[in-house]
Homo-oligomer: A and B are copies of this chain.
Amino acid sequence: MSQVDPGRVGQKRPVRSRRERLRQSTLEEIVEVGRALLREGREVTLRAVATEMGFTAPALYRYVGNVAALNGLLSNNIFAEIVREMAATAEPYGDDDPAAQMVAAATAFRCWALDHIDEFQLVFHTNSLSGEHVARSKAGKPLHPLAPPPQEGAADGVQKFADFFGRIFIGVSQQYPFPVPSRAELDDDFVAVHSPGGSGKPDLARLLGADGLGLIWLFELAWAQLYGIVTLEVFGHIRPQLVRSGALFTAVMHEIGRRAGMADDWDRLAAISQEILARRA
């Protein structure tokens, strides 16, 4: 209807104004402080974050608008760090050895989770995907009273995560032949989700050819298994001694690797995983 709005058609603001920069800075500090509290095992509460930064609780509502939103911010930040950590661990093995990278990244993921239980649990509770049964609890909430604009690109933490793993997985699929289900063999609903217009990951799908869907399917399966075992270990549903030994995780990794055609190469890959596991102790 109306033709212009703030910056938009504007020629003026390629650089953010000083105010905007300050705002962004304190927002980052909020996240930073939240992470610090989490790291120290203290409770992450609006008041705690605020006082830690030297001002009072209501002030945070200029930036966050909600304690749930704050959790979302933290969740994203944590996701980013996990990806960074995985990338750093996988990098030395080189892009020409995607199998090693995959094993290394998965193992790094597991170790990071166990070393940062509180952070991992926060990410887990803050379900970024599928706000379906989130909306259930409080339906028509008008978003914010003091209303800072909702963070753009707020829920893409998982996305980057999936992309990171997905890219490696593609490399593996080109190097290690393993059976990929054809489009016809796949579940119809799954195909529907990932067809253009669905809510799938288009950028990842675009990288793939004809049997791309089958690959995504296998990726999803492997991902479920990895996330499953790590989750169980982190949440204390596995006997602590088994967690310490890492035997169960190793077995699951073996299973995943076998399905990804790495059986012949597994001795080498298992050694890589063990080496990374041994770093924490």
Contacts and interface: CB of A to CB of B under 8 A. Distances in A.
Copies per assembly:
2
Contact of A231 (B129, B193, B228): B228
Given A189-B241, A240-B130, A242-B189, A224 B228 contact: yes
Contacts of A241: 189, 192-193, 199
B248 A220 contact: yes
A232 interface: yes
B189 A247 contact: yes
A187 interface: yes
Contact of A132 (B41, B136, B231, B236): B236
A133 B238 CA distance: 13
Contacts of A189: 241-242, 244-245, 247
A127 B237 contact: yes
A189 B41 CA distance: 29
A158 B232 CA distance: 14
A239 B136 contact: no
Interface string A118-134: 00000010010110111
Interface string A92-113: 0000000000000000000000
A57 to B, nearest CB: 22
B137 A242 contact: no
A147 interface: no
A89 interface: no
Contact of A240 (B132, B235, B248, B251): B132
Interface in A193-250: 193, 199-200, 220-221, 224-225, 227-229, 231-232, 235-242, 244-245, 247-248, 250
A176 interface: no
Contacts of A242: 189-190, 193, 220
Nearest to A250: B187
A44 interface: no
Best-buried of A117, A134, A224 by chain B (most CB within 10 Å): A224
Contact of A237 (B129, B134, B240): B129
A252 interface: yes
10 closest A-B pairs by beta carbon, nearest first, are A228-B228, A189-B245, A187-B247, A127-B236, A130-B236, A130-B240, A193-B241, A190-B247, A224-B229, A224-B232
Interface of A: 41, 117, 124, 127, 129-130, 132-134, 136-137, 158, 187-190, 192-193, 199-200, 220-221, 224-225, 227-229, 231-232, 235-242, 244-245, 247-248, 250-252, 255
Given A187-B245, A224-B232, A228-B229, 19 more contacts: A124-B235, A129-B237, A129-B238, A130-B239, A134-B236, A158-B237, A187-B247, A187-B250, A189-B244, A189-B247, A190-B245, A193-B241, A199-B241, A220-B248, A221-B255, A224-B252, A225-B225, A225-B252, A227-B232
